[in-house]
A and B are shown apart, each in its own frame.
Chain A
Amino acid sequence: MSTGELTAKNRLAIDRTSMPEQDAAKRATNFQEVNLGLAEAAAVREAQRCLDCKKRPCVDGCPVRLRIPEFLVAVANADFAAAAEILRADNALPATTGRVCPQEKQCEQKCVRGVKGEPVAIGWLERFVADWAAENMAAPQPPAEKTGRKVAVVGSGPGGLTAAGELARLGHDVTIFEALHDAGGVLRYGIPEFRLPKRIVDREVDNLKSLGVKIECNVVIGRTLTVGQILDEFDACFIANGAGLPMFLNVPGENLKGVYSANEYLTRVNLMGAYREDSRTPVARGAAAVIFGGGNTAMDAVRTAKRLGSERAILAYRRGREEMPARLEEVHHAEQEGVEFLFLVSPLELIGGEDGWVKAVRLQRMELGEPDASGRRRPVPVDGSEFELPCDIAVVAIGTRANPLLTQSCPDLKLNKWGNIEIDENGMTSVPGVFAGGDIVRGGATVILAMGDGKNSAIAIDQYLKRQD
């Protein structure tokens, strides 16, 4: 049935589909993907729920401005190839965003179906079509027309990959410099296999290579090359090196063995494959793991600890459930998997045993006071409420700061007081021809916001290069 034959009433009568998931008890012991993906019939039916409304609020909710209604109409007509073409044109990493975007705060939050009921499952459909395209369509090809302009991209995370894809499609000669040994940035080292399998990242990266993007790994900008050297070789540069400097708690005992930054813990497990039995990279395992933080990274770390065999995997957050920045779906999944949540607590000290390993954390209870600068109610310590919680592993997931390696080597780059790069309304930095986006500009944000920056900067770079002609 084509969507044209469906009345609004027909569409309104369709209930939101559900995502098939790996059984919670089983998945808590493995690293295979939690969400299994929609079947074809379910995807078509879900897309038919879209009212194809005139206002298209969903598009405004999308940082890369995916043409969601057109995409959904194609899916509703079971024309997956047409849907995939729209996806590919608008979004460089659809299989990724379909898995990790906080849709409930973006496109789906704006969906008119959500006013009285549940929004269209845009994210699940995006994933469905991206996976379908990987199975059924040839890799994207480089454009026939080349501009002869060379653009360097620093960092192969979501921002860098998106910018690179966009620039390549515009005919520019693009080289990505990546500091680590494999491309993907946070998609590779940060987000765990059970949420974003690395074969998906490989595929997204391969698609960009098909577009003609060159990727050089093991190049640390600020050390191996400076931004100045890049400008000698390239016509423009996009900096998207992320915010890779972990923050610590600054409490006693933080350097005990078994205490990790979330970056280290997740890098060992994801990039270095420590979850595999035959991995050469060790990571501490123990009966009780405590993770400090309330964001997606904290959620990834606590669910990883559970999978690595911790009987108790506890997330300790200084605010309440409502204030957690983590995606709703992750919170639900974590709860199903047996992750424990400890709200309104703040760590005072990590306590070690004679062997130098962490054995407990001393926590203090908090209560919520007046709203702070972020609009969330500020946690206030409750006197005399200290208590000890035994743990064998502690992971600090309270955020990251700007890594100064690159910026120190380029004093002309104007920074804000936190060390993040300042940009103008076109995404250009204080150095002509050098653009920046993602976490190095925003501080810690999300994959899709970095991608939005990558896309906008690519367009701005293209215009900048045209002005130079």
Chain B
Amino acid sequence: MFEVISKQEIAPSVHRMVVKAPRVAAARKPGQFVIVRVDEDHERIPLTIADADAEAGVITLIVQAVGDGTKDIVATPVGGAIRDVAGPLGHPTEIENFGKVVCVGGGVGTAVLFPLAKALADAGNEVTTIIGGRSEPFVILRRDLAAFSKEVLVTTEDGSLGTKGFVTAVLGEMLSDDARRPDAVYAVGPVPMMRAICQQTRPAGVKTIVSLNPIMVDGTGMCGGCRVTVGGEIKFACVDGPEFDGHDVDFAELADRQNAYKEDYCRLDAKLQQTETAR
């Protein structure tokens, strides 16, 4: 059992949760994730470890309550317990000093980006962060990222905060400006965003790392459900990733595999709602 120490809604349906998990906290490095199963008969859900405090034995998770499983995770009260937290899983981010790095986060992907950006800054990189969201409330971790970023640039689809539009427009400007052009880009967010960014950086010849979050069951390489094609080879995101060279990733296949159970989940959600209403 893993106790929930604190919990805070940082954006609509997005919760920052601090969870007691001493073994994970001690072993964790930036870029790694845990598999969380809130209770019996629940799904195993991969979540990035946003931060950790080995001494206090706690990890920070940022959870977007989208489906049944994540909703139940964020519904766990402070002092309550999550049944399973397994990890840390995946390869830690390979942190290098590239020089100038642009970190791009889309929606809740910004939570995954946060520990990477922090580690890159700690390694001496000049980090510029671009974060995007639907509208102002969905732009998360702005202040946390500002603590170590040279600059935090915000885009919103409705223009309620920062530049109106998508992160790609801001990144595009930087790529075409020799003075601001990054030596590397880290991008985490929805698949279409990461794909679009890779299409921008490939012709510019800028190394781009993406963090993938395909459907996963065990997270230890046992099932192969999270397989992605990278450079023409099958890779398991859970043990070979989750970070890959974005220019080698087959995003079309990834996007397609991610929606494999869309209908099942819709049906399940409807069914669960029915049961709840009946109660």
Interfacial residues, chain A to chain B (CB-CB below 8 A): 179-181, 189, 217-220, 223-225, 244-246, 248, 250, 254-255, 257-258, 260-261, 263-264, 267-268, 272-273, 278-282, 284, 356, 403-405
List residues 155-211 of chain B with CB under 8 A from any CB of chain A: none
- The answer to whether B234 touches A255 (Cβ under 8 A) is yes
Whether B239 sits at the interface, judged by CB under 8 Å, is yes
Taking CB atoms and an 8 Å cut-off, the chain B residues in 59-93 that contact chain A are 68-69, 83-89
Query: B107 → chain A, closest Cβ, in Å?
Result: 24
Flag if A218 contacts B86 (CB, 8 Å).
Answer: yes
Identify the closest chain B residue to A190 (Cβ).
B222
Assembled-state Cα–Cα distance A245/B227 (Å) = 12
Q: Decide yes or no: A264 and B217 within 8 Å by CB, A181-B84, A282-B261 being known contacts.
A: yes
What residue in chain B is nearest A217 (Cβ atoms)?
B84
A246 & B220 in contact (Cβ 8 Å cutoff): no
| Given pairs A244-B220, A264-B225, 17 additional interface contacts (CB within 8 A) | A181-B83, A189-B218, A189-B222, A217-B86, A218-B86, A220-B86, A220-B87, A220-B89, A225-B23, A246-B223, A257-B257, A261-B225, A263-B222, A264-B217, A267-B223, A272-B217, A405-B221
CB distance from A225 to the nearest CB of B (A): 7
Give, as a whole number of angstroms, the nearest-CB distance from B173 to chain A.
Answer: 35
Q: Contacting B218 at CB < 8 Å: which of A179, A217, A260, A280?
A: A179
Q: Are B239 and A405 within 8 A (Cβ)?
A: yes
In this assembly, does B278 line the interface, its C-beta being within 8 Å of a C-beta of chain A? Answer: no
Closest Cβ of chain B: how far from A330's Cβ, in Å? 22
**Which B207-251 residues have C-beta < 8 A from chain A?**
217-225, 227-229, 234, 239
B234 touches A280 (CB 8 A): no
CB distance from B122 to the nearest CB of A (A): 22
- Asked whether A356 lies within 8 Å of B68 as measured between CB atoms, the reply is no
Contact code string B21-44 (vs A, CB < 8 Å = 1, else 0): 001100100001000010001111
Given A224-B87, A268-B217, A272-B44; A257-B256 close (CB under 8 Å): yes
Q: What's the count of A-B pairs with C-beta under 8 Å?
A: 108
Q: With A223-B27, A273-B41, A282-B268 known to touch, is A245 a contact of B84 (CB < 8 Å)?
A: no
Ordered by A's residue number, 26 sampled pairs between the chains whose C-beta atoms are within 8 Å are A179-B86, A181-B44, A181-B84, A189-B218, A218-B84, A220-B87, A220-B219, A224-B87, A224-B88, A246-B223, A255-B228, A255-B229, A255-B234, A255-B253, A257-B260, A261-B224, A267-B217, A278-B41, A280-B69, A280-B268, A282-B261, A282-B265, A284-B260, A403-B220, A403-B222, A405-B239
CA distance A404 to B221 in the complex (A): 9
Q: Which of B1-49 contact A (CB under 8 A)?
A: 23-24, 27, 32, 37, 41-44
- Chain A residue, CB-CB nearest to B68: A280
Over the window 250-279 of chain B, the binary record of Cβ atoms lying under 8 Å from chain A Cβ atoms (1 yes, 0 no) is: 000100110011001100100000000000
Q: With CB as the reference atom, state the residue of chain A lying closest to B23.
A: A224
Q: How many whole Å from B96's CB to the nearest CB in chain A?
A: 21
In the assembled complex, which residues on chain B have CB atoms less than 8 Å from the CB atom of A356?
256-257
**Nearest 3 A/B pairs, CB to CB:** A282-B264, A264-B223, A244-B222
In the complex with contacts A180-B218, A255-B229, A255-B234, A263-B223 CB distance below 8 A: yes
Residue from A224, A257, A264, A280 within 8 A of B224 (CB atoms): A264
The winner among A220, A246, A278 for most chain B CB atoms within 10 A is A220
Given the interface pairs A246-B224, A255-B253, A255-B257, the reply to whether A279 lies near B41 with Cβ below 8 Å is: yes
B23/A281 in contact, CB under 8 A: no
Q: Give the Cβ gap from A224 to chain B, nearest Cβ, in Å.
A: 5
- A interface majority secondary structure: loop
Considering the chains assembled together, what is the distance between the CA atoms of A257 and B225 in angstroms?
A: 10
Q: Cβ of A257: which chain B residues have Cβ within 8 Å of it?
A: 256-257, 260
Closest chain-B Cβ to A419's Cβ sits at a distance in Å of 12
CA distance A403 to B221 in the complex (A): 7
Q: How far is the CA of A385 from the CA of B200 in the complex (A)?
A: 46
B13 nearest CB across to chain A (Å): 19
A278 to B253, CA, bound (A): 30
Give the residues in chain A near B218, CB-CB below 8 Å: 179-180, 189, 244, 267
Taking the closest CB of chain A, its distance from the CB of B64, in whole angstroms, is 17
Q: How far is the CA of A261 from the CA of B268 in the complex (A)?
A: 24
In the bound assembly, the distance between CA atoms of A461 and B1 in angstroms comes to 31
A179 touching B268 in the complex, CB below 8 Å, given contacts A219-B23, A255-B227, A284-B260: no
Residues A280 and B42 in contact in the complex (CB < 8 Å), given A220-B87, A246-B223: yes
Complex contact A224–B234 (CB within 8 A): no
* Alpha-carbon gap, A52 to B183, bound state (A): 79
> CB-CB < 8 A to B88: which residues of A?
223-224
CB-CB under 8 A from B256, the residues of chain A are 257, 356
Pair A225/B27 contact, Cβ less than 8 Å? yes
- Taking the nearest CB of chain A, how far is it from the CB of B66, in angstroms? 14
Task: Give the complex CA separation of A245 and B235 in angstroms.
Answer: 12
B226 to chain A, nearest CB (A): 9
Decide: A280 and B43 in contact? CB cutoff 8 A: yes
Contacts of B234 in A (CB 8 A): 248, 250, 254-255
Q: How far is the CA of A224 from the CA of B33 in the complex (A)?
A: 11
Most buried by B among A218, A225, A255: A218
Task: Tell whether, in the assembled complex, residue B227 and residue A220 are in contact, meaning their CB atoms are under 8 Å apart.
Answer: no
Chain B nearest CB, measured from A222 CB (Å): 9
CA distance A263 to B219 in the complex (A): 12
Chain A residues near B221: list those with CB within 8 A.
244-245, 403-405
Q: In the assembled complex, which residues on chain B have CB atoms less than 8 Å from the CB atom of A244?
A: 218, 220-222
Q: Is the CB of A280 within 8 A of B41?
A: yes
How far, in whole Å, are A405 and B219 apart by their CA atoms in the complex?
Answer: 11
The CA-CA distance from A431 to B211 in the complex, in Å, is: 35
A248 CB contacts on chain B under 8 angstroms:
224, 227, 234
In the assembled complex, the Cα of A245 lies from the Cα of B238 at a distance in Å of 12
B236 to chain A, nearest CB (A): 8
Most chain A CB within 10 A, of B43, B222, B225, is at B222
A404 — which chain B residues lie within 8 A by C-beta?
221, 239
- With contacts A179-B218, A244-B221, A280-B43 taken as known, whether A224 is within 8 angstroms of B85 at the C-beta atoms is no
Write the chain A residue with the least CB distance to B222: A244
